[in-house]
Amino acid sequence: MTDSEPQPRQIYDPVSDTPSSYVREAEGIHPPLDFPEYKSTALRHPKQPLIYLPQNITELTGPALGSLAPVGELDNDLTRQHDGEPIGERTVVSGRVFDTEGKPLRNTLVEIWQANACGRYRHRWDRFEAPLDPNFTGAGRAVTDAEGRYRFVTVKPGPYPWGNHYNAWRPAHIHFSLLGRAFAQRLVTQMYFPGDPLFAYDPIFNSIPGEAARSRLISRFSIEDSQPDWALAYEFDIHLRGPGATPFEEAL
C-alpha cells in the first residue's frame, strides 16, 4: 500500500449509491480514437463528432454477475488450469478496483487474458515463432471482494513482435476487462510491468496522452506481497469513473 491509496469506505448501498450521473471524463484521460502511429486505427475510428448522451437509468445500471459469469475456483489461478504448471516467472497480480472518489467497487467482474512467458498467445492469429505452452491458456477471471480487491496467480507474459511497423514489439502486458457496476463504468485496458524498455517504442501505450496517465497502467512491484520461495508480486489498482458532482445537472 502507498500513502496515497485511499482507505476503504463503506461499500455501496443498493439504492442510495446508484448515482444520478457519472462524472464526464475530461479530454486526455483516454487515448484518442484516431491515432495514426497505431495503424489499425485508420479505418476503425469514427470521423464524425461524438454526440453527448445524457445519462439515464440504462447508463447508470450494469449487469449483475450470477449466472452471467460464474467464477470457478481456479479461474483466478492461470497456473493451475492444466495438468502441469506453465513455464515462466510465477507472478501474483493483485489490486483493488475503486471509483474515482476512492470508493472500492465490490462484487465486480475482472477478466484478464495474456500471452505466455514466451510472448505467444494461444490464438490462431498469433504466428509469432515462439513456443506455445501446453499448460497455459492465458485467461482468468475474478470477482472483487468487499474491499474491491482481486488477485490472480499467473506467469509473467513475454513481450512479442507485431506488424505495426518495422521491428515493432509490444511491451509485456496483461489485458484487463472490467464491468464496473454501471454501463457508464465499462473499461477495457492493459496492465504493464515497471521498467519495460519497450515503453518508448509502443504506439498503443503512448496513445495515452501524458506521462502521468500512462503511468497509471504500470503495475507496482511489491516485495511485501511477493511470497518467499514461490512468486514475485505486482500491484495494479484501477479507478473507474465515479458519480458526477451534481445530481441531475445533466439530465434532459
Partner 1 sequence: MSFPSTPAQTVGPYFAIGLPWPDGPHAVAPGTVGAITIRGVVYDGAGEPIRDFLLETWQADPDGLFADLYGHGGPSKLAGFRGFARVGHEDGDGSFELLTVKPGPLVMPSGANAAPHIDVSLFARGLLHRCVTRFYFADEGSANAADPVLASVPAERRGTLLAKAAAGGYEIDIHVQGPGETVFFAL
Report the site for partner 1 in 62-91 (rule: CB under 8 A): 62-64, 67-69
- Pull the grid cell for residue 106: 465490490
- Residues of span 95-114 touching partner 1 by CB under 8 A: 98, 100-102, 107, 111-113
Dist CA 98 CA 240 (whole Å): 6
- Pull the grid cell for residue 23: 462524472
Asked if residue 177 binds partner 1 (CB under 8 A), the reply is yes
Instruction: Select the residue interacting with partner 1 from 128, 169, 183, 221 (CB under 8 A).
Output: 183
- DSSP, collapsed to helix, strand or coil, labels residue 121 as coil
Phi and psi at residue 28, to the nearest 5°: 95, -5
Comparing CB distances to partner 1, the nearer of 46 and 195 is 46
Residue of 170, 181, 192, 241 marked active site: 170
- DSSP, collapsed to helix, strand or coil, labels residue 90 as strand
- Residues of span 36-55 touching partner 1 by CB under 8 A: 38, 40-48, 50-55
- DSSP, collapsed to helix, strand or coil, labels residue 160 as strand
Asked if residue 16 binds partner 1 (CB under 8 A), the reply is no
DSSP conformation letters of 219-232: -EE-TTT-BTTTBE
158 near 126, Cβ under 8 Å? no
Asked if residue 246 binds partner 1 (CB under 8 A), the reply is no
CB-based contacts of 33, cutoff 8 Å, min separation 6 = 41, 45, 46
Q: Is 173 a catalytic residue?
A: yes
Q: How far is the CB of 79 from partner 1 (least distance, A)?
A: 16
Q: How far is the CB of 78 from partner 1 (least distance, A)?
A: 10
Instruction: Select the residue interacting with partner 1 from 77, 80, 168, 190 (CB under 8 A).
Output: 190
- Residues of span 113-152 touching partner 1 by CB under 8 A: 113, 115, 121-126, 137-141
Q: Is 165 a catalytic residue?
A: no
